[in-house]
């Protein structure tokens, strides 16, 4: 156990050291020399202070991302290696004879432990964001969101894990296939209830106050044959200075949502470009394509998780104190493998997402015909979020579900020049 623990700490430290070197020493984020002075060059639309802050903030934010993603896997690994998972299973077994109750108790202790260990890292990210004036949220409000996160995730995990364990115990060889079948209606159910049940737990949503702007947005929606009756705004200025707008939900629960920070900072034409972009996703059915892709990946992921769990328990089950895949003790291993596979698949999912986002940008510029508003929108997004216009390659591959702002401005410019 000591050897494994020492090796895991060493690997994690060396990984963190590499990411620090890559982000802070090796990588640059400037635009190619041939694009100097263009609309995509941040020196043309950012002040000197904004340039320095965006560079520093982006490097710190990206470094935190890359070191915290495997940190959760590391926590699960330590829980298994030290026998904590086995002890928590013993505690839960003593509480009740009902399997669902045992699972709920075990999940509570596991969720609480992971949350408490990870909280200092979350708090560090919060403080850094506050120091760069991206986050405006007061600490009590931030803690409230953390508590809501805990209970929402915990209650959802109870439902998922109870069903998952029942499937594993009843269909040990094919549980992954039956779990995948059940995930299809569950995914659509979550998408349907999120706008009306989950999102309002964190923020207040209300109809757009600017009725003239709403009329313009709904006119765009009508032109795109989108059955929207209302546009919603959300009071995100209490939490952030960043800008955003999105379409959420499916069916009758679909919503067009604008952050009030977007409304306060952008012009009507810029907002209409963003709305046309979101409508492009709807028209091209990107939501359903994304769900289909997610379900396809999840099928492969669940099968790989099944095979890897069998292999790991067969070889190192004694060390990790896991007797069988059917035991609650194996849950941290399951969660660790799901996390690793999700991260490993992110370059693929991000590539597909970037293609969809580019298509939505092209749809928006064709619909609005406002090239100037499109370019200034992306410039304002960079300034408001202190975002790197041209981030390092690994950051783009693993973090960017959208094209970089450098790419987005350039292909808008290229399209505009070709029309002229």
Could you tell me the two tokens for 283? 């028209």
Question: Residue 339: helix, strand or coil by DSSP?
Answer: helix
Per-residue pLDDT reduced to its tens digit, 15-62: 999 999 999 988 876 788 888 888 989 999 999 898 999 999 999 999
For the beta carbon of residue 309, count every other beta carbon within 10 angstroms: 21
Could you tell me which residues come within 8 angstroms of residue 317 by beta carbon, excluding any fewer than 6 positions away? Answer: 323
Nearest to 185 by CA among 132, 120, 97, 250: 250
Inter-axis angle of helices 175-193 and 286-320, to 10 degrees? 130
Residues of the chain with pLDDT > 90, as a percent, come to 57
Q: Which two tokens stand for residue 35?
A: 């694009």
Q: SS3 of 40, please?
A: coil
Query: Are 237 and 229 a contacting pair, CB within 8 Å?
Result: no
What token pair was written down for 163? 């069903």
Distance separating alpha carbons of residues 361 and 281, to the nearest angstrom: 9
Per-domain boundaries in the chain: 43-202+285-419
User: Which has the higher per-residue pLDDT, 244 or 304?
Assistant: 304
d(CA 344, CA 347): 7
pLDDT digit string (tens) for 163-172? 999 999 999 9
Neighbouring residues of 241: CB distance < 8 A, sequence distance ≥ 6: 133, 134, 135, 136, 261, 384
> Rounded to two decimals, what is the model's pTM?
0.88
Write the pLDDT tens digit of every residue in 174-200.
999 999 999 888 888 887 888 878 888
Eight-class DSSP state of 207: E
Q: In what order do the strands lie in the sheet with 205-207?
A: 205-207, 231-234, 255-259, 245-248
Q: Taking every pair of C-alpha atoms in the chain, what is the biggest distance, in angstroms? A: 75
pLDDT of 5 above 70: yes
Residues 116-171 have pLDDT tens digits of: 999 999 999 999 999 999 999 999 999 999 999 999 999 999 999 999 999 999 99
Residues making up the chain, counted from first to last: 420
Rounded-to-integer distance, Cα 48 and Cα 62, Å? 21
CB 376 within 8 A of CB 270: yes
CA dist 354 and 143 (Å) reads 33
- The pLDDT score that the predictor gives to residue 285 is 85
Higher pLDDT: 94 or 2? It is 94
Average pLDDT over residues 209-217: 89
Dump strand ranges (E) for 223-327: 231-234, 245-248, 255-259
From 187, 149, 374, select the one nearest 297 (Cα to Cα).
187
Q: In which band, very low, low, confident or very high, does the pLDDT at 416 lie, cut at 50, 70 and 90?
A: low
Q: Cα(91)–Cα(94) distance, rounded to whole angstroms?
A: 5
Tell which residue, 398, 403, 404, has the closest CA to residue 69: 398
* Confidence at residue 307, expressed as pLDDT on a 0 to 100 scale: 95
pLDDT at 417 over 70: no
Half-sphere exposure for 121 (CA within 13 Å, toward CB): 17
Strands in 139-264 per DSSP E: 205-207, 231-234, 245-248, 255-259
Higher pLDDT, 4 or 357: 357
Given this model, what pLDDT does residue 117 score? 93
Q: Which residues are catalytic?
A: 278
What is the sign, positive or negative, of the torsion defined by CA atoms of 88, 92, 93, 94?
positive
State the Cα–Cα distance between residues 76 and 80, nearest whole angstrom.
6
pLDDT of residue 283: 86
Higher pLDDT, 332 or 36: 332
Percent of the chain with pLDDT over 70: 97
User: For 62-90, what is the mean pLDDT?
Assistant: 91
At 220-272, the pLDDT tens digits run: 888 878 776 778 899 899 999 988 888 776 666 677 889 999 999 999 999 99
Instruction: Tabulate helix, strand, coil % of the chain (nearest 5).
Output: 75, 5, 20
pLDDT of residue 419: 57
Alpha helices, DSSP H, located in 171-285? 175-193, 211-223, 260-265, 268-283
- With tokens 């919603």, the residue in question is 232
| Model pLDDT, residue 341 | 95
């Amino acid at each position: 156990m000591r050897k494994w623990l020492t090796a895991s700490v060493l690997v994690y430290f060396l990984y963190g050291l590499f990411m620090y070197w890559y982000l802070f020493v090796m990588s640059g984020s400037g635009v190619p020399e041939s694009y100097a002075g263009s609309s995509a060059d941040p020196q043309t639309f950012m002040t000197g202070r904004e340039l320095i802050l965006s560079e520093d903030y982006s490097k710190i934010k990206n470094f935190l991302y890359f070191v915290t993603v495997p940190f959760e896997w590391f926590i699960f690994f330590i829980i298994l290696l030290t026998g904590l998972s086995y002890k928590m299973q013993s505690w839960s077994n003593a509480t009740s004879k009902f399997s669902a109750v045992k699972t709920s108790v075990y999940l509570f202790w596991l969720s609480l432990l992971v949350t408490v260990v990870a909280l200092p890292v979350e708090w560090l990210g919060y403080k850094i964001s506050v120091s760069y004036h991206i986050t405006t949220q007061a600490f009590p409000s931030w803690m409230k969101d953390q508590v809501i996160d805990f209970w929402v995730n915990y209650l959802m995990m109870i439902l998922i894990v109870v069903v998952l364990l029942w499937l594993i115990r009843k269909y040990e060889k094919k549980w992954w296939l039956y779990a995948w079948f059940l995930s299809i209606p569950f995914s659509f159910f979550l998408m349907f209830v999120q706008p009306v049940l989950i999102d309002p737990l964190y923020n207040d949503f209300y109809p757009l106050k600017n009725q003239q702007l709403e009329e313009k947005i709904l006119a765009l929606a009508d032109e795109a044959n989108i059955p929207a009756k209302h546009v919603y705004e959300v009071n995100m200025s209490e939490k952030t200075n960043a800008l955003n707008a999105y379409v959420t939900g499916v069916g009758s629960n679909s919503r067009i949502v604008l952050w009030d920070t977007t409304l306060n900072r952008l012009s009507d034409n810029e907002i209409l470009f963003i709305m046309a972009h979101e409508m492009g996703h709807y028209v091209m059915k990107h939501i359903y394509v994304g769900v289909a892709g997610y379900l396809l990946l999840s099928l492969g992921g669940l099968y790989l998780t099944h095979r890897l769990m069998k292999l790991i328990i067969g070889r190192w089950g004694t060390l990790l104190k896991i007797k069988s895949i059917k035991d609650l003790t194996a849950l941290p291993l399951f969660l660790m493998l799901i996390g690793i596979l999700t991260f490993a698949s992110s370059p693929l999912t991000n590539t597909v997402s970037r293609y969809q986002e580019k298509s939505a940008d092209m749809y928006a510029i064709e619909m609005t015909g406002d090239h100037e508003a499109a370019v200034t929108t992306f410039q304002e997004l960079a300034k408001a979020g202190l975002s790197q216009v041209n981030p390092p390659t690994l950051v783009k591959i693993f973090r960017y579900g959208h094209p970089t702002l450098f790419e987005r401005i350039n292909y808008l410019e290229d399209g505009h020049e070709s029309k002229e």
